[in-house]
Amino acid sequence: MAVREAEPLGSLQEVQEVGLDREDLFGLYRHMLTARGIEERGHILYKQGKIPGSFYTGRGNEAAAVGVGAAMGPDDVGCPIQRDMGVHITRGVEPWRIFAQYMGRADGPTHGRDGNVHLGDARLGLHAMVSHLPAMLPVAVGMALAFRIREEKRVAVAWCGDGAAARGDAHEGMNFAGVRRLPVVFLIDNNQWAYSTPSYLGHAIDHLADRASGYGFEGVVVDGTDVLAVFREAKRAIEKAREGGGPTLIESVTLRMEGHAVHDDASYVPKEMFEEWARRDPIERFRNWLRENAGMTLAEEDEITAGVKKLLNESLARAEESPWPDPSTLLDGVYASQEELDTPHHK
């Protein structure tokens, strides 16, 4: 089975056919701006010495993250990775809590127990990544198995990077999901570099999505800088999984526009590659699309931009006021309580 390459979405009418109205489109744009704005401010906080440890960004991946996050249903679950800030934003994690997380404060989703991008709010169906990659992929498959056993029409989304996709747990998770036709969607964020390792040293095939046929399900390659194409493919795959059609592997192709983390200047990435992908910047691309196809006026654009700026400024100020975690709470949350197991996402 040859992998399918997703078509871009051209017109407003096509977009409406996949269920997005004008307000939804503005929402996607707002989420993308928010995700980037959080990471840009995070960068500054890091340089100010306010972020302990390292700091990771997903610049260039905003469309891919927001597109998938928006395609998930309210009771679906996911395990986003270090490049997927847009998923957290789209599912409703408040930016001030993310800034608090970056700074190790008590109001971050991990309450100061972990820093940077190892975050997730289980109440919103998001499960925090651990450092070992792609360890969360089999976890998402396990959640999909639980949905099958409980006969719930819910879907799990499992993210991993192109480098992580080369590891054994990716194979085991995808194989098991294929055998059991579980309601899970695999999302490979193929940003072409795994730290300093380029794609051609990580896999010997043209498309990572080609692997899907070996597991007995569909694979699709999508341009990860096109939020609308990502949304359509993610929606299609998620609804297929929900209706019992089994997994899909979506490979979203982007370029990691910054270093692996802030300490890395990415000097090993050819300059021309950055230049080429900068011309395909997902936010600029969508802004132009909205102007040309959805008639976004300058006043509307300014309102969105100003709204995001205000939100981020207020969020940062609020996060700076968040206290450090109280050492006496160190063991809180290590084991789930009965009430925590009673949330809609655990039933």
Q: Does the footprint of ligand TPP cover residue 96 (CB under 6 A)? A: no
Between residues 96 and 186, which has the closer beta carbon with respect to ligand TPP? 186
Find the binding residues for ligand TPP in span 65-84 (CB under 6 A): 82-83
DSSP 315-343: HHHHHHHSPPPPGGGTTTTSS--TTGGGS
Tokens of 20: 């997005």
Q: Does the footprint of ligand TPP cover residue 127 (CB under 6 A)? A: no
Return the range that interacts with ligand TPP (CB under 6 A); candidates 130-138, 176-184, 220-228, 292-300. 130-138
What secondary structure letter does DSSP report for 124?
A: G
Between residues 195 and 324, which has the closer beta carbon with respect to ligand TPP? 195
Please state the closest distance from residue 254 (CB atom) to ligand TPP, in A.
9
Tokens of 64: 């891919």
Helices 62-71 and 282-293, axial angle in degrees (round to 10): 60
The helices-and-strands tally (H runs, E runs) of the chain is 12, 8
Determine the distance from the C-alpha atom of residue 13 to the mean position of all C-alpha atoms in its chain, rounded to a whole number: 26
DSSP 45-73: HHHTT-S-S-----TT-HHHHHHHHHHS-
Indicate the pairing of strand 197-198 with strand 193-194. antiparallel
Find the binding residues for ligand TPP in span 161-180 (CB under 6 A): 161-164
Strand order from edge to edge, sheet including 218-223: 4-5, 218-223, 248-253, 184-190, 156-161, 77-79
Q: Cα dist. 33→97, 286, 306 in Å?
A: 17, 11, 11
Between residues 164 and 234, which has the closer beta carbon with respect to ligand TPP? 164
Please give the residue whose beta carbon sits closest to ligand TPP in the complex. 161
Q: Does the footprint of ligand TPP cover residue 59 (CB under 6 A)? A: no
Between residues 83 and 207, which has the closer beta carbon with respect to ligand TPP? 83
Return the range that interacts with ligand TPP (CB under 6 A); candidates 127-135, 145-153, 226-234, 294-302. 127-135
Between residues 133 and 158, which has the closer beta carbon with respect to ligand TPP? 133
Residue 249, φ and ψ in degrees, nearest 5:
-110, 115
Please state the closest distance from residue 191 (CB atom) to ligand TPP, in A.
5
Please state the closest distance from residue 193 (CB atom) to ligand TPP, in A.
5
Determine the distance from the C-alpha atom of residue 254 to the mean position of all C-alpha atoms in its chain, rounded to a whole number: 13
Please state the closest distance from residue 26 (CB atom) to ligand TPP, in A.
28
At which residue do the structure tokens 């499960």 appear? 127
Between residues 232 and 256, which has the closer beta carbon with respect to ligand TPP? 256
Q: Which of 11, 195, 278, 288 binds ligand TPP (CB under 6 A)?
A: 195
Please state the closest distance from residue 137 (CB atom) to ligand TPP, in A.
11
Tell me, by CB under 6 A, how many residues bind ligand TPP.
16
Q: Cα dist. 315→62, 95, 96, 319 in Å?
A: 20, 6, 4, 6
Between residues 49 and 168, which has the closer beta carbon with respect to ligand TPP? 168
Q: Does the footprint of ligand TPP cover residue 208 (CB under 6 A)? A: no
Q: Which of 68, 133, 143, 222 binds ligand TPP (CB under 6 A)?
A: 133
Three-state secondary-structure class, residue 286: helix
Q: Does the footprint of ligand TPP cover residue 62 (CB under 6 A)? A: no
Find the binding residues for ligand TPP in span 249-288 (CB under 6 A): 256, 260
Q: Which residues bind ligand TPP (CB under 6 A)?
A: 82-83, 131-133, 161-164, 189, 191, 193-195, 256, 260
